[in-house]
Amino acid sequence: MEIKNDTDLESLSGSSSEPTLSYDRARDESVPVPSGPERLASHASSPSRSHFSRGSFQSWSRGAEGLELGSCSIEQMSFPELKERHAAATATVNSLRERLKQRRQQLLDTDVVANYTRTQGRTAVNFSSTDLVCCRTLQGHTGKVYSLDWTSERNRIVSASQDGRLIVWNALTSQKTHAIKLPCAWVMTCAFAPNGHSISCGGLDSACSIFNLNSQVDRDGNIPVSRVLMGHKGYVSSCQYVPDRESHLVTSSGDQTCVLWDVTTGQRISIFGGEFPSGHTSDVLSYNVSSKNNFPSPSVSVSSSNSNMFVSGSCDATARLWDARIASRAIRTYNGHQGDVNTVKFFPDGQRFGSGSDDGKCRLFDMRTGHLLQVYAQQHNNNEPDFPFVTSIAFSISGRLLFAGYSNGDCYVWDTLLAEVVVNLGKLQSSHEGRISCLGLSDDGSALCTGSWDKNLKIWAFGGLRKVI
């Protein structure tokens, strides 16, 4: 082996010429011959540690005349120069990031709050005493109400309670049509199927049970379980049917995952999160409250405009967007909350969603850009020992109003454009006497139902503001 432009390492590192290496097969027959193409890379520093050199052999090959070795170039630089070049590269990267951020901001045309305010003006929504009134109180549960859901035909409601029962109510007459005693009393969530004939529920038994309301009752007068969806390794605290797919159901769990099920076969279609690095790192949260006095509960909301998309909220203080066709990773992660994300809900246009958290705030995010559009923070006393947090949210049909329930019994109606409170249902004479644990709007937007730890549900009807709803 010989080195052309032969120098020692000190002179090599300071030389302005480009040294090359070549292999003389005639002089050294003992050098082993590589069996195929290879790439070798190396680096070295001078004994004084003042210079740095690096180089690489591009290829080895066995030719007709023997072993052939391509030449390589060696680059030398001082360590101060190396640090200087690294700092310059870092500055370039940071500059490009800032330019990209500014460009995104310039192209951001999806700010529904700003755009709508410009076209509609900054006229606040005003409520009179007859615009939103409690027209019915549904009494029948003997324990705290944890979850509720409306049917698509808007005349029935199902509720789940700590008393271990599901009750189906006629929202027009306040009468109970079904009272189902559950195998596991610790129920945390319930949902109506799109056809209104089936109900699903889940809880601390880590399973999701399906009931067919048309089934024959047993000798005890109870509707039997038609199917049990097993697979979660933690409690099931949220479930929702996919709007345009009658047999598909999404559940979320304390095992940090969401699962898409085929209700007909009882099989899991896809698992979201868990071992995947883009998944949640803590319990995924929902309708119920996460506090020292209640169960932490995962949340999930399926888009009505695009049934392939759903969003989840978690104890890791994030919300994540998922595509049912790509289970391996979350499409986007939304940060900003300073506490557990207890509830998530899609905006009516399906391009945005709202979230509510233990930090007492609701946030409105744009799905496509990841931008935070608005923050809804209630006034509170900083000396208050138990800071009220958000337990459940819902949007009006137009999206102009945001309904938010709180742990202290408040139920704020927010103007989504101005981030101002229109009315607090919790301060009305007919309000609940305990925590608002769940709420939901009927499909036609004509009524709001709230559930509470006072064991009751209340239906609130809209009057003159139907054009806003």
Q: Which residue has the tokens 């698509």?
A: 152
Mean pLDDT of 118-147: 77
What residue type is assigned to position 136 of the chain?
R
Residues 6+ apart with CB under 8 A from 111: 366, 371, 373
b or e along 32-71 (b: 16 or more beta carbons within 10 Å of the residue's beta carbon)?
eeeeeeeeeeeeeebeeeebbbebebeebeeeeeeeebee
CATH 2.130.10.10: which residues of the chain? 116-462
Mean pLDDT of 11-15: 40
User: Which helix (DSSP H) or strand (DSSP E) does residue 177 occupy?
Assistant: strand 176-181
Q: What is the pLDDT of residue 204?
A: 92
Most confident of 293-307, 415-429, 454-468: 415-429
Q: Is the pLDDT of residue 376 over 90?
A: yes
Give the rounded distance of the alpha carbon of 43 from its chain centre: 46
The residue among 212 and 287 whose pLDDT is bigger is 212
Query: Shortest CA distance to 266 belongs to which of 251, 284, 280?
Result: 251
Q: Is the pLDDT of residue 467 over 80?
A: no
Q: What is the mean pLDDT of the chain?
A: 77
Distances (CA, A) of 443 to 7, 38, 368, 420: 84, 66, 25, 25
Q: What is the pLDDT of residue 243?
A: 81
Mean pLDDT of 13-31: 44
Q: Is the pLDDT of residue 17 over 80?
A: no
CA count, 13 A, side-chain hemisphere, 317: 9
Q: Is the pLDDT of residue 208 over 80?
A: yes
Most confident of 47-51, 73-77, 385-389: 385-389
Q: Is the pLDDT of residue 6 over 80?
A: no
Q: What is the pLDDT of residue 122?
A: 58
- Name the percent of the chain lying above pLDDT 90: 38
Q: What is the pLDDT of residue 456?
A: 95
The model's confidence at residue 56, banded by pLDDT at 50, 70 and 90, is low
Mean pLDDT of 40-67: 55
Query: Shortest CA distance to 456 belongs to which of 427, 423, 440, 433?
Result: 433
Distances (CA, A) of 251 to 191, 201, 211, 245, 264: 11, 10, 16, 15, 15
CATH number of 116-462: 2.130.10.10
